[in-house]
Amino acid sequence: MTSPLSNSVIFHRPSCNPNPNPPSTSFRHPQNLKFRPNSTSKHHNNATASDQPPQSEKRSFAVATGELFLGIASRIIKSRNAMDRRLDSVEKVRMFGEELSGKTESEFWKRFRRRKEVVTEEITEVVEDGDVVWEQRLKDVEAERGRKAVSSPGFSFSAAGLLFPYHLGVAKFLIENGYIKDTTPLAGSSAGAIVCAVVASGASMEEALEATKVLAQDCRSRGTAFRLGAVLRDVLEQFLPDDAHIRSNGRVRVAVTQILWRPRGLLVDQFDSREDLINAVITSSFIPGYLAPRPAVLFRNRLCIDGGLTLFMPPTSAAQTVRVCAFPASGLGLEDIGISPDCNPENRASPRELFNWALEPAADSVLDNLYELGYMDAAVWAASNPVEDLVQEDNPMVSS
């Protein structure tokens, strides 16, 4: 691991592990990993100018745009959490065309949906939650039903911007220790969707981390705002194998947000080609005016933006979903999160540092530390959730 990086604000929050005397594990303790942005270590002194984000108007615009988007998403999350507490648990999880108890769809939306299905494709409603409707195409539902085996729990990875080395570290631990198998359902928004596609492709997390550094180096030297989408597409086209879409079908749910006529979360689970999978992932990551100089992207004849706006951590098709968040979950008002920086609140980067790194690529040494911290947080979570007690074979097509 690289030398320590930064002096950070410490999160004083409870650990994910409720056991005051957890069993010993073989991983190194994250307390040894401190973020020191003003470090004078040899590694820091040898960093070239290209290792640091460019200080320019584009960077300021990128951070301002991203923070605005994240602020809106946070408000939606908090309002939905408040609504969730008022809804019956059955109402929250009905899926695949089942009507919500006590709720009916307006005649306008029924007519609109019928017309849309005739013109484009058949949509199966997933769940309605206030002003947000989650949907899946019939093809997506059929792809999940076609799976012969499903393991529970599934794992959902949050939107995270350029913090996805954290998710890669979490995924590495979960794969190595048998929590994620070939039959494990996955779901993700934005960076989380990228990680799900990588996991399903069979690539190693170390290879994915190196690809992340290639993307980060390009953005550090040439800028991030307005061009991140093109760079990300190029990296995915070079990294994902030709059969990535086949490996992902029925297993990986990618969340995108349709913006007309109201925010509508779409869960995509069936991909016609590798290009279709990449398009879904790019759409799931599309922060307006940040990935490219336009307000939205056209995906399957729909104007869409980042999936994190409506489905920050989308449900998987397993009976139980463990949610992974790259940000301190409690700081965003999130509940029922399995793995996050809250698992190890000591000596962690401040929220401001994390948001900045989410929007502008950090130095490679920071990416390495995020990767290892994700691994450590997953290990702390696992200490309270032994694989032999948690992972089990499940029936396909059960709601989460």
Helix/strand/coil (H/E/C) assignment for every residue in the chain? CCCCCECCCCCCCCCCCCCCCCCCCCCCCHHHCCCECCCCCHHHHCCCHHHCCCCCHHHHHHHHHHHHHHHHHHHHHHHHHHHHHHCCHHHHHCCCCCCCCCCCCCHHHHHHHHHHHHHCCCEEEEEEECCEEEEEEHHHHHHHHCCCCEEECEEEECCCHHHHHHHHHHHHHHHHCCCCCCCCCEEEECHHHHHHHHHHHCCCHHHHHHHHHHHHHHHHHHCCCCCHHHHHHHHHHHHCCCCHHHHHCCCEEEEEEECCCCCEEEEECCCCCHHHHHHHHHHHCCCCCCCCCCCCEEECCEEEEEHHHCCCCCCCCCCCEEEECCCCHHHHCCCCCCECHHHCCCCCCCHHHHHHHHHCCCCHHHHHHHHHHHHHHHHHHHHHCCHHHHCEEECCCCCC
Angle at 271 between CA 93 and CA 159, to 5 degrees: 55
The yes-or-no answer on residue 306 being catalytic is: yes
Look at the chain and count its residues. 400
- Active-site annotation holder among 306, 364, 377, 394: 306
Closest CA to 394 of 330, 320, 292, 310: 320
- Active-site annotation holder among 6, 15, 158, 190: 190
Residues labelled as active-site residues: 190, 306
